[in-house]
Structure 1
Amino acid sequence: MSIKRRLFYIVKYSFIVYSVYYIVGTLVLRLLKFFVKPDDKLILFSSFGGRKFDDSPKVLYELMLKDKRFGDYKLIWAFTNPDEVELSEDRKIKCDTLNYYVTALKARAWITNSSIERGLSFKGKNTFYFNTWHGTPLKKMGADISIDNQSFKSKAKNCYDVFLVQGEYEADIFSRVFTIEREKIRLIGLPRNDILIQYTNKYQLELREKLGIPVGKKVILYAPTFREYEKTEDLECKLTVPMNLEYWKERLGMDYILLFRAHYEVAKSMEITDDDFVREMSAYPQLEDLMIVSDMLVSDYSSIFFDYSVMHKPMYCFAYDYERYASERGMYFDIRDYISATDNEVDLLSMLTKGNDFEAQEKSNVFQKKYVTAYGLATKLSIDIIAKEMGLFVSVPKQHI
């Protein structure tokens, strides 16, 4: 394990160490704030704590670059490894550096899908904190779970000015677990998902060609989540799926392509070798592309079910370890009650090869109507909310439900 990762683990899971980190770090940054001049035309972006250049923050960033209202704004991204991101040097900074904290203190707005404050508390009154979040929770989270020594939840406060959701179900959860006032929760959907209902057949065909998917083959997207209780020697989450890819290829190889997309926490632990049937896509930057080219989804307890449901395609739950997962991690509801589900790969492959599975598709439709009620205009609505806060001219269209 690297020294940096070991220190991160100690800070996160040792209550005493984290408490010292929080108190000292917060105090230093609040004092530093008096020496930093605010910049009303600086916006700081971050995705998944600086690990990614994607998701809803990137969608908003790309539209802002084209929006004349933000023509003279400085749009800066924070990354844990900025050298790995293809972005001009004047548009990116490194997380956990003095420059990062100074930039955060100067910025008029923070746009993220996770957090900017790095477990501390230093947001200024004039800083507009816009959180898109990164998925609808199926697994219990925040104050709803009890994990030994999860020290962050005992100190860091959530000072969001806007928090996006795509349904009342998650609005209730986030309001409770993050102690967010309901008026700050905006039911407009997630910007990253707009493309899922806006794409054309031409765009889908172009993506299939780009990804090298043979004409006529159906595409299965398999996107499992991680298990916190399964870790490698380096304390990274891992995933052990009871699936025989040779058996899958034998059953499906003639007519299907399998796109394997693991959760970012476990992608490194997977050992998938690409061939003419399976493609390892965990490092592919745009998950939405994979959702668009696929004909069906297989997952387990991932929030991807909520996002995928707006496309009204068949969805399947491969719940091979449901009892253990529900016991150790906690679930808000039994996903098997809503999605076509099984606990073994033989039955799963039988489901996948049904052809037009109208039952699975109808379940997907019902699931969407229950849990995802706002979608399609989140990007435009978000930009207008931000523009209004910046004092720029806005024209907000009616919400699409």
Structure 2
Amino acid sequence: RLMLNIRAPLADDQRGRNAQRQLARWYQETEFEPRDAVLFQCYRGEFSTDSQRAIHEELFRRGSPLQLLWAVSSYSVPLPEGALPLLIGSRAWYEAVGSARYLCQNIDYDRFFRKRSHQKYLQTFHGYPWKSMGVSLWRVQGKSESLITAECERRNSAWDSILVPAEFCEELYRREYRYPHEVLVTGYPRDDALVNSDLDAARAQVLARLGIGADKTVVLYAPTWRDTVATGAWTAKLFDELDLNYVTRQLGDDFALLLRGHNYNLREGSAGSSASVLDVSSYPEINDLILAADAAILDYSSLRFDWMLTGKPVLFFVPDLANYLSARTVLFEYGPTAPGPMLTTTEQVVEALGDLSSVTTEYATARETFNLEFQTLHDGHATERVVDSFFGVDAWPHRTPMLDPAMTPKAG
């Protein structure tokens, strides 16, 4: 299979490791003038999605005077209305990292980053906390206590506020990152669309875009990445134990199967669509796929928390459950976070998909219990709470207050 690696269109003096080291040094040594702007970034810039997009859209809806800047890996990344793209690695991007008054990320900047005194940094993270992170993860990885302390200090010197999806999560982040600053216990803005959207209209629109008939039963398969098949710091091979071609052959033409790999898998190389499976790993908005699908096959991804807001049936394909939990420690028990049948073979998946009404009925109480335990803040208004709390008056147009005529100085 031929694969082409297309690099971002950086200027000649911005390409390569040496040029990037020089730009990073320039960024670190320069004192930038504050800029009334928000700089958003999702992952490594391949998408404009997650809570960043929801926050952008709310600021744009309110008519905020802030410039809405987006860090992107290429100019082909679809952006929301009102967005100004900045190519990651360009001089303009480094300048914005140093000058924007607000920074909004779902991962961390690389080690060149130095927050200025005029900046506020909102760390939204990119999924419900369940896998080990921070101190717990670093200890399992064998990092020294001095390095763990340094990693916590690096993050805590950057983050001014963090988002959590539920009250109990605040303690997790404070413990795992020794985090001392503001925690916004608001729910995730990314999930507002799943609660507020017209499900039927959204489904019809997305399926038309994908070229799938509305009469099909659409199944979303979204396996997460595994530490055991990681190929780099940000890449991993696709988990392929589920025989997708067998699934589609057995279910027939009444079903459509969507494959959504993790963005680590996408950087490794797309699995590619086939006659029976549509690869949607590069589709720009995961919420669209959640709204369009009638059922999901998931595993350990935090996507299961988002999915459960829809009330639709879900299967858990976890043939490697014991191995996964031995390779990646977790923050709390898996079972209560998986309100659906836990399956280990392709044949079991086919059987369950053939009787989705029974899955829906059998696990209705488990789904309700799940949402009561984990989702009470996901009421469709998380974005409003975050924008009000973090941006304050900058979330709204700045207006000059009208003066009382009696208080207006008279000429002469």
The question of whether the paired residues in 2 share the 8 Å contact of 1:59 and 1:379 is answered with yes
Task: Return the alpha-carbon distance in structure 2 between the equivalents of residues 297 and 198 of structure 1.
Answer: 20
- Percent of pairs with identical residues: 24
Which of 353, 361, 365 is the matching residue for 1:362? 365
Which of 337, 357, 382 is the matching residue for 2:386? 382
The question of whether the paired residues in 2 share the 8 Å contact of 1:315 and 1:364 is answered with no
What is aligned with 1:73?
A: 66
What is aligned with 1:91?
A: 84
Shift of 1:223: 0.5
The question of whether the paired residues in 1 share the 8 Å contact of 2:238 and 2:271 is answered with no
Moved more, 239-248 or 290-299: 239-248
**Equivalent residue letter for 2:75:** D
The question of whether the paired residues in 2 share the 8 Å contact of 1:316 and 1:360 is answered with no
Task: Return the alpha-carbon distance in structure 2 between the equivalents of residues 196 and 240 of structure 1.
Answer: 27
**Equivalent residue letter for 1:37:** E
TM-score, normalised via structure 2 length: 0.79
Shift of 1:100: 2.5
Shift of 1:30: 5.2
What is aligned with 2:353?
A: 352
Shift of 1:286: 0.8
Task: Return the alpha-carbon distance in structure 2 between the equivalents of residues 90 and 296 of structure 1.
Answer: 33
Shift of 1:120: 4.1
Against the structure 1 CA distance between its residues 25 and 328, is the aligned structure 2 distance closer, same or farther, given a 3 Å change threshold?
farther
**Equivalent residue letter for 1:271:** A
Shift of 1:393: 7.5
Task: Return the alpha-carbon distance in structure 1 between the equivalents of residues 52 and 385 of structure 2.
Answer: 14
Shift of 1:383: 2.3
Task: Return the alpha-carbon distance in structure 1 between the equivalents of residues 114 and 233 of structure 2.
Answer: 31
Task: Return the alpha-carbon distance in structure 1 between the equivalents of residues 184 and 381 of structure 2.
Answer: 12
Moved more, 94-103 or 299-308: 94-103
What is aligned with 1:37?
A: 33
Residues 1:48 and 2:43 aligned together: yes
What is aligned with 1:107?
A: 100
What is aligned with 2:13?
A: none
Task: Return the alpha-carbon distance in structure 1 between the equivalents of residues 241 and 315 of structure 2.
Answer: 16
What is aligned with 1:271?
A: 271
- SS of the equivalent of 1:93 reads strand
What is aligned with 1:298?
A: 297
What is aligned with 1:195?
A: 193
Unaligned runs of 5+ residues in structure 2 are 8-19, 399-412
Shift of 1:46: 0.9
What is aligned with 1:329?
A: 328
What is aligned with 2:132?
A: 140
The question of whether the paired residues in 1 share the 8 Å contact of 2:226 and 2:239 is answered with no
Shift of 1:175: 2.0
What is aligned with 2:122?
A: 130
Task: Return the alpha-carbon distance in structure 2 between the equivalents of residues 28 and 177 of structure 1.
Answer: 33
**Equivalent residue letter for 1:341:** M
The question of whether the paired residues in 2 share the 8 Å contact of 1:47 and 1:53 is answered with yes
**Equivalent residue letter for 1:78:** A
Against the structure 1 CA distance between its residues 381 and 234, is the aligned structure 2 distance closer, same or farther, given a 3 Å change threshold?
closer
Task: Return the alpha-carbon distance in structure 2 between the equivalents of residues 231 and 56 of structure 1.
Answer: 26
**Equivalent residue letter for 2:392:** K
Task: Return the alpha-carbon distance in structure 1 between the equivalents of residues 101 and 124 of structure 2.
Answer: 17
- SS of the equivalent of 1:83 reads coil
Shift of 1:124: 2.1
- SS of the equivalent of 2:75 reads helix
Aligned residue pair count: 367
1:11-54 deviation line (CA, Å, top 9, x unaligned): xxxxxxxxxx99x9998755423xx2212x12211111333222
Residues 1:222 and 2:221 aligned together: yes
Task: Return the alpha-carbon distance in structure 1 between the equivalents of residues 214 and 117 of structure 2.
Answer: 55
- SS of the equivalent of 2:362 reads helix
Task: Return the alpha-carbon distance in structure 2 between the equivalents of residues 274 and 169 of structure 1.
Answer: 43
Against the structure 1 CA distance between its residues 73 and 269, is the aligned structure 2 distance closer, same or farther, given a 3 Å change threshold?
closer
Task: Return the alpha-carbon distance in structure 2 between the equivalents of residues 385 and 374 of structure 1.
Answer: 15
Task: Return the alpha-carbon distance in structure 2 between the equivalents of residues 141 and 171 of structure 1.
Answer: 14
**Equivalent residue letter for 1:362:** T
**Equivalent residue letter for 1:197:** V
The question of whether the paired residues in 2 share the 8 Å contact of 1:168 and 1:371 is answered with no
The question of whether the paired residues in 2 share the 8 Å contact of 1:313 and 1:364 is answered with no
- SS of the equivalent of 1:195 reads helix
Unaligned runs of 5+ residues in structure 1 are 5-20, 395-401
Task: Return the alpha-carbon distance in structure 1 between the equivalents of residues 330 and 160 of structure 2.
Answer: 28
The question of whether the paired residues in 2 share the 8 Å contact of 1:142 and 1:178 is answered with yes
The CA RMSD measured in Å over matched residues stands at 3.2
**Equivalent residue letter for 1:74:** Q
Shift of 1:348: 2.2
